[in-house]
Amino acid sequence: MILEIKNLKKVYGDKTVVNIEYLQIAEGETVGLVGNNGAGKTTFFRMLLDLIRPSEGSVLSKGENVMQTDAWKDYTASFLDEGFLIDYLTPEEYFIFIGSLHNLSQADVSAYLSRYTEFFNGEIINSGKYIRDFSKGNQNKVGIAAALMQNPEFLVLDEPFANLDPTTQIRLKTILRSLKSERRLTTFISSHDLNHVTDVCDRIILLEKGLVIKDFMKDENSLKELEEYFSE
Amino acid sequence: MLSTFLSHQRKSFWRSRNKGGSIATQIVMGFFILYFVAIALIVGFGMPYLLPKVFKGQDPLKMFDGIILYYFAFDFLLRLQLQELPTLSIIPYLHLKIPKQKIISFINVKALFSAFNLLPLFIFLPFCIIRIAEAYGVFAMLMYIISILSIMVFNNYTVLYIKRKSITNILYTVIGLAVIAGFAALEYYKVISIMTGSHFVFSAVAAHPYYGLFFTLVAGLMFWINSEYLRKNLYVEELSTKQEKKASTDYAFLNQFGRVGELAALELKLILRHKRSRYSITMSFFFLIYGLIFYKEKIIAADEFGKMMFAAIFMTGISIIMYGQFMFAWQSAHFDGLLSNKINFKDFIKAKFLLFTIAATIITLLASFYGFLSPKLLLLHLAAYLYNIGFGTVTVLYLATMNYKRLDMTKSASFNFQGTGATQWLLMLPYVLVPFLVYLPFGMLDKPYLGLVVLSAFGMIMLLMRGFWVDFITKKFEQQRYKIAEGFRE
């Protein structure tokens, strides 16, 4: 079991933003987190990554509390928003920096990047721009690619499909699927787009006002079910 | 239309998200401006009395002519550094049914609201009214005033034009300063004289007042060139600074420090690639002249290091103080990324120490030219340097763990107080007081050199304890990281 959530709560003032009693994610699962704005998805993800101190409860990654050790950083890669990018670097510099944290040499990094030329669509590498000068979609690509480069066992992405063009959306889905079958990658993604989520995930968690409303394995009726839920 | 624009501007100020901050900034700015205006007024009204005193035995009228061009040359360089381009606020109007000309006039009018366009009025006008009118007649006085205002307007729009074409560079300013200093030196040794040149120009205005209109003509021309440029380039993309090709860089020198060096290199790029941090660093170099103010011959001869301590600490530690006061907030935009990545917090803190040490070493080496004044000063600097890297760094980093204010790196640099909190101002106190207090008893007992030795020893001991301090700050940082991250997200 790669992730275990126990009685996780985050309270701001008198408002409980996240309140998850128990949740676990097994290795190799691709889990989608859906919910409207304000459902607490990002706050939840931030707690997973030890960026926000939970008011109560704990997040266990491979049985270890993320607040207490750094070991989870070895196998967890994430991209939530542009705040994860060091925007005054060129993409190459950023990839090399992230790579160096995982003991990848420059050659390793360029070898990796060459596999993703299609994904980058010729706009990222050797563009002569800092990350801050890219469009949001391309920044997203840099963040996602940097996360994938870390060879993670556990991947956390917040709204990865937002701002991406249709071609890239499809490519990203292909990449996620193939990584899952190749390496048993565990993925936890959030999205507003029910189509994408049902397409790529095999388990779906529905969050509303911080509570887990539904948690089910995907089948052919899932999309309909979700659409019905959200149109109410 | 112009008034609508102005009212929008006003609203954008009063409704801005960090209103408190910007009001505070404006108030501080207001005080700065008042201060400068007061000085300008004193200089302006005192000019008739000051000129004969400064330039003994010379004709004050001639000297007045002489300083005008000097003033504006200096004004030009200052503007190049400090004056802001009034452009970005127009973006929401570009696609609306508003004639381009209106937008351009708005930008042009707005550009006149600058303190730089206020000071010359106070500095030069009183003298014109008091003395020029008396000497050359009212009409000549009017033309003097018109000439001076024209040069001011010329400077205003030339600087904006240069900035729009983004051919400005800190290097040019430094070169410009050097050129002015060169002319001043030549003036002093009576080789060539700008003052005579300036006088020549203005005596022509005095003799044939109509000549003054020439300045107006040139200013008008510059205004026109500027407006034309704006008209042709009124695109958001082109109004913001031009993009040059960005290249990846590698600081081989830092690689020898391993992971810590990598983090330091990262931060070095941060400093060099943002206006605001670059500005802080440039200011550090300007502060090197502090010694000229504080290091007086008498004080040096009497070994009164206590009186010079402040300047020494400040000069050798300026980079630590300037950069350290906003520590961690420099990285507020990607702080989440730093936390969630596989970065050891200890390395993170060590990288800061490394960077501070390098910066302080460089600036201390530069400051050693004061050794020409007296070799004693080198000892003083050494003590101050050891204190700075030994204990100053610790103070700054400890206080940094209590700074939760986001810093917007994209905002301009000069007179930007965003991200400044009480901590920043309080920082200065212990930083400057500690070395002074360490030295004080020895100074009082008339053992100045022993005082320096003790201060150096204090710095040395702290430096040797660096491992301990790194752990100490790392621990504090670990405790505070959620709070810091939360503050930086806002």
Task: Find the CB nearest B340 among A51, A87, A129.
Answer: A51
- Among A73, A89, A130, beta carbon nearest to B341: A73
| Length in residues, chain A | 232
- Residue B409 contacts A where some CB pair is shorter than 8 Å: yes
> Do A67 and A58 touch, CB atoms closer than 8 A?
yes
Which tens digits make up the pLDDT trace of B106-127? Answer: 888 888 888 788 888 888 888 8
Q: Chain A to chain B, count of Cβ pairs less than 8 Å apart? A: 78
Structure confidence at residue A70 (pLDDT): 81
The answer to whether B123 and B71 are in contact (CB under 8 A) is yes
Token couple for B418: 């965003």
The pLDDT assigned to B79 comes to 83
Contacts of A74 in chain B (CB under 8 A): 342
How far is residue B306's CA from residue A15's CA, in Å, rounded to a whole number?
56
B245, B248, B337 member nearest A93 (Cβ):
B248
**Contact flag A84-B343 (C-beta cutoff 8 Å):** no
Tell me the shortest Cα–Cα distance from A3 to chain B, in angstroms: 16
Domains of chain A in start order, with CATH, are 3-75+152-231 (3.40.50.300)
pLDDT at B466: 92
Q: How far apart are CA B411 and CA B66, in angstroms?
A: 38
What is the ipTM metric for this complex?
0.72
- Take residue B49 and report the two structure tokens written for it: 């009395």
Paired residues of B320 in beta bridges: none
Of the partner residues B262, B270, B334, the one whose CB lies closest to the CB of residue A84: B334
SS3 call for A62: coil
Cβ contact, residue pair A129, B243, below 8 Å:
yes
pLDDT of residue B51: 77
Q: Is the dihedral of CA A46, A49, A50, A54 positive or negative?
A: positive
Q: Is residue B340 within 8 angstroms of chain A, CB to CB? A: yes
Answer whether A46 touches B (CB < 8 Å).
yes
- Interchain CB contact of A216 with B (< 8 Å): no
| CA proximity to B228, closest of B307, B155, B165 | B165
CB contact under 8 A, B482 and A52: yes
Residue B252 in contact with partner chain A when CB distance is under 8 A: no
- Closest Cα in chain B to A70: B342
Selection from B260, B397, B254 nearest residue B323 by Cα: B397
Which residue of A80, A83, A88 is in closest CB contact with B274?
A: A88
Nearest to A96 by CA among A127, A134, A142: A142
Answer for the pair B469, B394: CB distance below 8 angstroms, yes or no. yes
Q: Which of B246, B343, B410 sits opposite A101 (nearest CB)?
A: B343
CB contact under 8 A, A85 and B334: yes
Pairing of the two strands A186-190 and A30-34: parallel
What does each of the 232 residues of chain A score in pLDDT, given as a tens digit? 899 999 999 998 889 999 999 999 999 999 999 999 889 999 999 899 888 889 999 999 999 998 888 888 889 999 998 888 888 888 998 998 888 888 888 899 999 989 888 888 888 888 888 888 899 999 999 999 999 998 899 999 999 998 899 999 999 999 999 988 888 899 999 988 899 999 999 999 999 999 999 999 988 888 888 898 888 7
The parts of chain B modelled with pLDDT lower than 50 are 242
The alpha carbon of B96 is separated from its chain's Cα centroid by a whole number of angstroms, namely 37
Residues 102-131 on A with a CB inside 8 Å of B are: 102, 128-130
Asked whether A189 and A157 are in contact (CB, 8 A), the reply is yes
Residue of B nearest to A85 (CA): B334
Of B259, B274, B336, the CB nearest to A51: B336
pTM: 0.66
> Which chain A residues contact residue B489 at CB under 8 A?
83
Q: Are strands A203-208 and A186-190 parallel, antiparallel or unpaired?
A: unpaired
Which residues in A lie closer than 8 A to residue B245 (C-beta atoms)?
Answer: 128
Give the gap in angstroms from C-alpha B267 to the nearest C-alpha of chain A.
10
Residue with tokens 């917007």: B408
Element (H, E) at B107: helix B100-112
- pLDDT, position B381: 93
Contacts of B254 in chain A (CB under 8 A): none
- Residue in B236, B271, B341, B478 to test binding to A, most A beta-carbons within 10 Å: B341
Contact status of B482 with chain A (Cβ, < 8 Å): yes
When CB atoms are compared, the residue of A96, A128, A150 closest to B246 is A128
CA distance A228 to A84: 34
Q: Is A219 near chain B, with CB under 8 Å?
A: no
**B346: distance to nearest CA of chain A, Å?**
12
Q: Where are the domains of chain B?
A: 2-239, 254-489
Search chain A and give the residue with CA nearest B262.
Answer: A97
Write down the pLDDT at residue A145. 93
* CB-closest option in A70, A84, A96 to B336: A84
Are residues B269 and A52, on separate chains, in Cβ contact within 8 Å? Answer: no
- In the sheet with A56-61, reading across from the earlier edge strand, the strands are A15-25, A3-12, A56-61, A64-65
- For residues B101 and B90, give the distance between their C-alpha atoms in angstroms, rounded to a whole number: 13
Q: Judging by beta carbons within 10 Å of its beta carbon (0-12, 13-18, 19+), is residue B49 exposed, middle or buried?
A: exposed
- Which of chain A's residues have a Cβ under 8 Å away from the Cβ of B261? none
* Region for residue A10 given its phi and psi (left: phi exceeds 0; alpha: psi -120 to 50; beta: otherwise): beta
Q: What pLDDT, on a 0 to 100 scale, did the predictor assign at position B184?
A: 73
